[in-house]
Structures are given as C-alpha cells and as structure tokens.
C-alpha cells in the first residue's frame, strides 16, 4: 500500500500505474496487482438449541419459580446512577430487570 506524497491519500491502480484520486499525482513504474480470493464456505449449519453466553446465577423467576437465571448489566440511566441488572430465566426464558 502506498500513499500520495502530496496529499496523503491511498494511491489506487489506474492504467498500469498508481495514481491519487484526490490530487492526480501518478507514481512512476509499472504496477502488478495481486488479488487474494477468500474462499467462503457455502455450508449451512443448523443450530437446534439456543445457547446462552451469559453467567448463570441464583435468582428466582417471578413467572415460573425456577431458581436459576442468566444475568447481565446495562447502564440505562445517567452515569452517576447504578447500572440496571437484567435476568433471564433458564427454564421459561422470562426476562426481568432489577434497579438497585
């Protein structure tokens, strides 16, 4: 990757040379462009079960009474107030929040 010595813009290939698209500067010498092709997989992967990447804590669900829930915190109000705690029941997936 080369940059224009006049304006600092990235030089792009144009007519076998590197040229600046902003100010028109052209670098001397011939340019060889190598393309890298990334092979992407066209396989379709089916996910049968939703997995949570959140910590599991002891919290009683208000809907089904289960005692385990996933937990995370978000700053939903101003920075000088504490974060809001969210819980999601492991069993019934009910989500509730706690302000403290």
Reading the chain (100 residues) residue by residue, the pLDDT tens digits are 788 888 988 888 887 788 888 898 888 776 666 667 777 777 887 877 777 788 999 999 999 999 999 999 999 888 888 999 999 999 999 999 988 7
pTM of the model: 0.49
DSSP track, 19-38: E-TTT--B-SS-------PP
φ and ψ of 18, to 5 deg: -95, 130
Extents of the domains making up the chain: 1-34, 56-99
Give the whole-angstrom CA distance, residue 18 versus residue 91. Answer: 61
Give the whole-angstrom CA distance, residue 78 versus residue 86. Answer: 17
Residues assigned a catalytic role: 80-81
What pLDDT is recorded for position 65? 94
Architecture of domain 56-99: Single Sheet (2.20)
Q: Nearest-CA neighbor of 84 among 70, 71, 98?
A: 98
């Amino acid at each position: 990757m080369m940059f224009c010595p006049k304006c600092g813009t990235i030089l792009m290939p144009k007519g076998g040379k590197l040229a600046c698209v902003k100010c028109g500067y052209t670098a001397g010498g011939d340019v060889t462009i190598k393309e890298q092709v990334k092979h992407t997989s066209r396989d379709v992967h089916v996910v049968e079960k939703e997995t949570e990447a959140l910590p599991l804590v002891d919290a009683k669900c208000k809907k089904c009474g289960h005692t385990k829930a996933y937990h995370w915190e978000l700053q939903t109000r101003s920075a000088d107030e504490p974060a809001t705690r969210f819980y999601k029941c492991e069993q019934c997936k009910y989500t509730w929040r706690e302000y403290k």
